[in-house]
């Protein structure tokens, strides 16, 4: 640090960005092999996507590069020189930085403090706020990021927090930026902005590794792709040499057939779920759901689109009976179930696949048999005179685990020991086992790899084929367009747009989600002039 | 990738191990840590004793003598363990539902109050066995009521159960003292004595072990059946491990909360009946040497598992009787015993035998 100014400016890049070459990397955790002789090469100035299903070893490999994990074998070379980082600090010192899936920001500090945290002394952090903010502001400008250095992290939206994480790395001189599943909590517009930012970094000469399991992102962004499967290299290909199908095959080891064409069933006329003028408050947020009405018919999948935070979660919770309904009515199969308890709603024929699988869907510390039996125990059909029918629960679980191809198919395994995809299959199995009239599925494939996502989608379609109804709440437009018969766009708690799927396009949906309805049809009422209701 | 650190077993890879081996793996580390804690406690204890000018070897011998040196002393340990097993269950059952019933002391006192009241006012001609049955049942119900109050307050207005429990502890103790001073006063610092034919019978000659020990054993078995064999036990665990998931799958979480608390309280009340009918024959001032609070430690060391309550309760009871023996033999204050218990609990905490998880704090 020079005299006069204690707070360093963002570190200047020195020389060309070094390439990375990892060869023969192996890492085992106990008897489980996470990486098995993996090779990985990152060229200077490229965006390299590391693709693989959950548990394929992507994060382990990047953890090794970033100095968080020590490899059992193999060599890491940075710019031709063999390196062995013993800590993330070490890696950062050499220009390698990583943005984790869960951000490592101090919520109560402001942007500038978070950016310099660890590179200035705690005393300076307290005493030289103005200077720190100026430095960080300079850095943000240099990297063309629009961030207010004095904003508190907890007040910032998730995508801005992510930018802060990236700025933090750049400020400390990272030339190689690793991003672990960076889009998992972003909406479509935010993803677009992130990708634009990454491309800009590439133009500025940085190398970027993006870890993901989403094929769409590869197509959009990757200069080259390395696919891992079961801890081994499946393939590395450059732009122009891959398409979604070939990558999916490399990832899963098998061809994914197209989803069956919809049309099979006839859409019935009497609605199975009728929601009329629903108003829901959520804590301090009044009118989180603001007068929503729709019908859901037998044999229909009704998609609900919207940027996160526009009332989808409150709609889900209200329909699930865990959030109070302020006004309006809900009917299932013609029966008024407004304000019914979750138990009452289940008895009326409702099942729920909650978007928060670990928070609401499963009891992670219980076994699969117990998780599969949750609803039955609650309904009192898994016990006699108050005593559990343990054997019955277990044998039923065995059947379901097999039917839904859950691995391991061991009813005694704890839910937390399963991968996300298998956990979701357990939820599906439980929720579909009662043959519900209405299934509400909220972001049912978030965090799942392609194979598991495909499986979930097939199940949803088969529910529809059987003349039941599905309400699909999702922020994945492709998913909605692929599965839905009709699509609703929620915006600020209202229905801004509703149309049969063959009349909508991604562009139209994106516009509606942003708040402008191109050709508004909300149950015949123009939604651009929403009717004010109590 | 997974949003929570992967456990040793890895997704999708079936782990082949027998159920028994898995269970052993489950509790063996905990048992080992408990042993380490015991050895370390003995070491610290010896150092302390040496500092007080007594030969640690003599002290340990005296300690052992007091806890289990002869059948009489061992019988004392068994009876204290019986109390601690019940108050341990009083904590363990609600804890399984992530409800912090720290009111075992109050449930114990209120149970004792109900027991002495019933035993003294039931009509004279009543056969002893009937009076005992009614008294034990009444004390258990009284304890259940003392647990029901924080339960219903928690379920309806989300009142913090730690606070309501503690307030009920004071009321319970006050009622017990009211019985001593006003309702059934006697010459000494206790209530009138319960008639002999209404006391729990002795079951081991040469000791003071009464049928109260059998009641405690029965309580453990009831708790075991409840938690592992009934629909309610399943729901208590589900509510404790993930209240949201339990609720959305249709469980009436409020009802489960109230019941878990009432059942915990019932065990506390039973401890009161054992104290009055099986040990003291009256409510004696200060009869509970914090047995209700100690039940929390008993439950935590047993990792809330009903069967493990038995060794855990015996361990804590032995510490208590052992330090009495120490006092008798060497003149070292029984307070040293308190220090011993505290040291052990701190060590157990530090070694992770006692684990508190605040999963719900995140929500």
pLDDT digits (tens, 9 = 90+) for A445-485: 987 878 888 999 999 999 999 999 999 999 888 899 999 99
pLDDT computed for residue A41 by the predictor: 94
Nearest CB partner across the interface for B11, out of A360, A418, A430: A418
pLDDT at position B179, please? 96
Q: What's the average model confidence in pLDDT over A207-234? A: 89
**Residue B246 predicted with pLDDT over 70:** yes
CATH match for A20-252 among 2.40.37.10, 1.10.540.10, 3.30.565.10, 3.40.50.300: 3.40.50.300
pLDDT at B237 over 80: yes
**Which stretches of chain B sit within 8 Å of chain A by CB?**
1-4, 6-15, 19, 22, 229-235, 237-238, 241-242, 244-252, 363
Dihedral angle sign, alpha carbons of residues B176, B182, B184, B189: positive
User: Picking from A277-291, A351-365, B269-283, B347-361, which range would have the lowest pLDDT averaged per residue?
Assistant: B347-361
Nearest Cβ partner for A358 among B3, B7, B246: B3
In a domain, B240, yes or no: yes
DSSP codes joined into one string, B294-342: HHHHHHHHTTT-TTTHHHHHHHHHHHHHHHHHHHHHH---THHHHHHHH
Answer yes or no: is B355 within a domain: no
Averaged pLDDT score across all residues of chain A: 87
Residue B362's pLDDT band (boundaries 50, 70, 90)?
Answer: very low
CA–CA separation, B9 and B6 (whole Å): 8
Residue B122 inside a domain? The answer is: yes
For A99, A532, B91, B256, B266, the CA distances from B148, given in Å and listed in that order, are: 49, 47, 14, 11, 9
pLDDT of res. B363: 30
Asked whether residue B306 is domain-assigned, the answer is yes
Query: Would the pLDDT of A363 be above 70?
Result: yes
Dihedrals phi, psi of B147, to nearest 5 degrees: -85, -30
Nearest to A336 by CA among A389, A263, A275, A390: A275
Q: What is the pLDDT of residues B173-183, one digit of tens each?
A: 999 999 999 99
Q: Alpha-carbon torsion A147, A153, A157, A161, what sign?
A: positive
- The tally of CA atoms less than 13 A away on the side-chain side of residue A415 is 29
Buried/exposed A195-210: b ≥16 CB within 10 Å, e otherwise: bebbeebbeeebbbbb
Residue B158, pLDDT > 50, answer yes
The span from the first CA to the last CA of chain B, in angstroms, equals 22
Mean pLDDT of B312-331: 90
Sheet with A285-296: strands ordered across: A285-296, A273-282, A327-332, A335-336
How close is the nearest chain B Cα to the Cα of A380, in Å? 8
Out of 3.90.1150.10, 3.40.1030.10, 1.10.3720.10, 3.40.50.300, the CATH code matching A264-349+436-534 is 3.40.50.300
Q: What is the CA radius of gyration of chain B?
A: 21
Q: Look at residue B19 and tell me whether its pLDDT is greater than 90.
A: no
Tokens 């060497």 belong to B330
Are B248 and A364 in contact (CB < 8 Å)? no
Adjacency order of strands within the sheet including A81-83: A32-42, A20-29, A73-78, A81-83
Per-residue pLDDT reduced to its tens digit, B134-146? 999 999 999 999 9
Instruction: Enumerate the residues of chain B whose CB falls inside 8 A of the CB of residue A32.
Output: 8-10, 13
Residue A297 tokens read as: 């018919």
Q: Beta-carbon neighbour count of residue A167 at 10 Å?
A: 23
Burial of A503 (0-12, 13-18, 19+ CB in 10 A): exposed
Q: Could you report the per-residue pLDDT of A266-301, keeping only the tens digit for each?
A: 667 789 999 999 999 987 678 899 999 999 999 999
Domains A20-252 and A264-349+436-534 share a fold: yes
Q: What is the pLDDT of residues B24-63, one digit of tens each?
A: 666 777 788 888 988 998 899 889 888 888 888 888 898 8
Taking the domains of chain A in order of start, what are their residue ranges? 20-252, 264-349+436-534, 364-430
Contact A330, A273 (CB under 8 A): yes
pLDDT of B356: 58
Residue B268 CA, chain-centre distance (Å), reads: 8
Give pLDDT, residue A80: 86
Q: List, for residues A372-407, the tens digit of each pLDDT value.
A: 999 999 999 999 999 999 999 999 999 999 999 898
- Cα B105 to Cα B165: distance, rounded to the nearest angstrom: 9
SS3 A44: coil
Lowest-confidence range among A94-108, A181-195, B3-17, B225-239? B3-17
Average pLDDT on A488-496 reads: 92
The CA distance from A295 to A275, in Å, is: 6
* pLDDT of A315 above 70: yes
Q: Which of residues 450-489 of A touch B (CB under 8 A)?
A: none
Instruction: Output A184 or B296, whichever has higher pLDDT.
Output: B296
Confidence of residue A517 (pLDDT cuts 50, 70, 90): low
Between B351 and A386, residue with greater pLDDT: A386
Is residue B339 included in any domain, yes or no? no
Q: Give the rounded percent of residues in chain A with a pLDDT score beyond 90.
A: 50
The model's pLDDT over B61-118, given as tens digits with 9 standing for 90+, comes to: 988 999 999 999 999 999 999 999 999 999 999 999 999 999 999 999 999 999 999 9
pLDDT band at residue B151 under the 50/70/90 scheme: very high
Provide the H-helix boundaries in B124-189. 128-157, 161-178
The sign of the torsion formed by the CA atoms of A136, A137, A138, A142 equals positive
Averaged pLDDT, A198-221: 88
Q: Please indicate if any CB of chain B lies within 8 Å of the CB of A408.
A: yes
CB pair distance less than 8 Å for B12 and A361: no
Q: Are A164 and A157 in contact (CB under 8 A)?
A: no
Least confident of A160-164, A500-504, B21-25: B21-25
Q: What is the mean pLDDT of residues A251-271?
A: 69
In chain B, the number of structural domains is: 1
Residue B329 has pLDDT above 60, yes or no: yes
Q: Please state, rounded to an integer, the average pLDDT across all residues of chain B.
A: 89
The rounded distance, in Å, linking the Cα atoms of A10 and A378 is: 58
- Residue ranges making up the domain that contains B134: 79-313
- Cα separation, A122 vs A132, in Å, equals 12
Q: Which residue has the higher pLDDT, A263 or A438?
A: A438
Alpha-carbon distance values, B170 to B74, B162, B167, B268 (Å) = 32, 13, 5, 15
In whole angstroms, give the CA distance from residue A391 to residue A158: 46
CB pair distance less than 8 Å for A58 and B246: no
For residues B265 and A87, which has the higher predicted lDDT (pLDDT)? B265
The share of chain B scoring above pLDDT 70, in percent, equals 90
Asked whether the beta carbons of B106 and B171 are under 8 A apart, the reply is yes
Residue B17 has pLDDT above 70, yes or no: no
For A71, left (φ over 0), alpha (ψ -120 to 50), or beta? beta
Determine the pLDDT at residue B23.
62
- Indicate the SS3 state at residue A350: strand
A380 to chain B, any CB pair closer than 8 A? The answer is yes
Residue B91 lies in a domain: yes
- Predicted confidence at residue B298, as pLDDT, reads 94
> Which residues of A, range 44-73, sit inside 8 Å of B by Cβ?
54-55, 58-59
User: For A50-105, how does the pLDDT look when each residue is reduced to its tens digit (9 = 90+)?
Assistant: 998 877 888 889 999 999 889 999 999 998 899 988 888 889 888 999 998 888 88
């Amino acid at each position: 640090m020079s005299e006069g100014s204690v707070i360093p400016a963002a570190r200047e890049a020195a020389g060309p960005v070094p390439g990375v070459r990892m060869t023969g990397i192996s890492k085992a955790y106990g008897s489980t092999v996470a990486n098995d002789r993996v090779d990985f090469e990152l060229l200077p100035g490229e965006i390299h996507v590391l693709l693989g299903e959950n548990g394929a070893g992507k994060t382990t490999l990047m953890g090794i590069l970033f100095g968080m994990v020590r490899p059992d074998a193999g060599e890491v070379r940075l710019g031709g020189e063999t390196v062995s980082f013993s800590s993330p600090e070490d890696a950062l010192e050499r220009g390698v930085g990583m943005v984790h899936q869960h951000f490592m920001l101090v919520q109560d500090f402001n942007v500038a403090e978070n950016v310099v945290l660890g590179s200035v002394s705690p005393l300076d952090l307290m005493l030289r706020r103005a200077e720190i903010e100026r430095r960080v502001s300079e850095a943000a400008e240099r990297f063309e990021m629009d961030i207010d250095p004095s904003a508190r992290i907890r007040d910032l939206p998730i995508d801005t927090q992510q930018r802060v994480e990236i700025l933090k790395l750049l400020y400390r001189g990272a030339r190689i930026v690793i991003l672990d599943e960076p889009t998992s909590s972003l909406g479509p517009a935010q993803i677009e902005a992130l990708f634009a930012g990454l491309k800009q970094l590439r133009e500025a000469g940085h190398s970027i590794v993006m870890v993901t399991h989403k094929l769409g992102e590869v197509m959009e962004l990757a200069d080259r792709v390395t696919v891992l499967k079961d801890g081994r290299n499946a393939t590395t290909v450059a732009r122009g040499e891959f398409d979604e199908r070939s990558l999916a095959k490399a990832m899963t080891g098998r061809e994914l057939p197209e989803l069956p064409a919809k049309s099979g069933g006839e859409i019935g006329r009497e609605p199975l779920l009728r929601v009329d003028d629903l108003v829901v408050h959520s804590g301090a947020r009044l009118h989180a759901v603001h007068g929503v009405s729709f019908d859901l018919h037998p044999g229909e999948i009704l998609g609900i689109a919207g940027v996160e935070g526009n009332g989808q979660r409150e709609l889900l919770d209200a329909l699930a009976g865990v959030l109070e309904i302020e006004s309006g009515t809900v009917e299932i199969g013609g029966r008024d179930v407004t304000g019914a308890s979750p138990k009452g709603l289940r008895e009326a024929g409702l099942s729920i696949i909650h978007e928060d699988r670990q928070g609401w869907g499963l009891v992670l510390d219980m076994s699969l048999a117990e998780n599969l039996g949750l609803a039955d125990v609650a309904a009192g059909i898994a016990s006699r005179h108050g005593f559990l029918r343990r054997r019955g629960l277990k044998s039923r679980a065995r059947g379901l685990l097999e039917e839904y191809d859950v691995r391991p198919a061991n009813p005694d395994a704890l839910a937390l020991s399963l991968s996300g995809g298998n956990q979701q299959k357990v939820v599906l199995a439980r929720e579909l086992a009662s043959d519900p009239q209405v299934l509400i599925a909220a972001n049912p494939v978030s965090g799942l790899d392609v194979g598991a996502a495909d499986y979930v989608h097939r199940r949803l379609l088969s529910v529809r084929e059987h003349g039941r109804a599905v309400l699909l709440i999702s922020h994945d437009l492709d998913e909605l367009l692929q599965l839905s018969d009709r699509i609703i766009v929620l915006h600020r708690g209202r229905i801004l747009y509703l149309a049969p799927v063959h009349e909508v396009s991604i562009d139209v949906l994106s516009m509606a989600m942003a708040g402008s309805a191109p050709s508004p049809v909300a149950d015949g009422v123009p939604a651009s002039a929403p009717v004010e209701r109590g | 990738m997974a949003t929570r650190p992967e456990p040793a077993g890895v997704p999708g890879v079936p782990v082949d191990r027998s159920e028994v081996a898995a269970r052993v793996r489950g509790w063996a580390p905990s048992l080992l840590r408990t042993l380490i804690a015991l050895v370390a406690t003995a070491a610290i204890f010896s150092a302390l004793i040496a500092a007080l000018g007594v030969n640690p070897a003599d002290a340990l011998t005296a300690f052992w003598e007091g806890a289990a040196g002869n059948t009489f002393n061992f019988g004392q340990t068994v009876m204290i363990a019986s109390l601690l097993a019940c108050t341990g269950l009083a904590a363990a059952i609600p804890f399984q539902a992530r409800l912090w019933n720290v009111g075992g002391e109050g449930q114990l006192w209120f149970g004792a109050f109900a027991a002495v009241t019933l035993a003294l006012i039931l009509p004279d001609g009543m056969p002893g066995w009937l009076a005992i049955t009614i008294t034990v049942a009444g004390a258990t119900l009284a304890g259940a009521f003392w647990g029901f109050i924080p339960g219903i307050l928690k379920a309806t207005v989300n009142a913090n159960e730690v606070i309501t429990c503690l307030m009920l502890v004071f009321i319970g103790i006050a009622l017990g003292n009211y019985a001593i001073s006003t309702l059934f006063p006697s010459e000494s610092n206790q209530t009138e004595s319960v008639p002999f034919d209404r006391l729990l019978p002795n079951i081991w000659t040469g000791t003071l072990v009464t049928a109260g020990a059998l009641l405690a054993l029965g309580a453990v078995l009831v708790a075991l059946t409840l938690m592992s064999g009934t629909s309610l036990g399943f729901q208590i665990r589900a509510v404790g491990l993930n209240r949201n998931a339990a609720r959305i799958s249709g469980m009436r979480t409020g009802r489960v909360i109230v019941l878990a608390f009432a059942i915990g309280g019932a065990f506390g009340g039973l401890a009161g009946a054992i104290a009055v009918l099986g040990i003291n024959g009256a409510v004696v001032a200060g009869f509970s040497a914090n047995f209700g609070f100690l039940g929390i430690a008993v439950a935590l060391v047993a990792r809330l598992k009903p069967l493990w309550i038995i060794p855990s309760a015996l361990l804590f009871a032995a510490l208590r009787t052992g330090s009495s023996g120490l006092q008798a033999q060497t003149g070292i204050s029984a307070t040293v015993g308190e220090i011993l218990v505290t040291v052990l609990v701190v060590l157990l905490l530090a070694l992770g035998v006692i684990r508190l998880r605040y999963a719900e704090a995140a929500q």
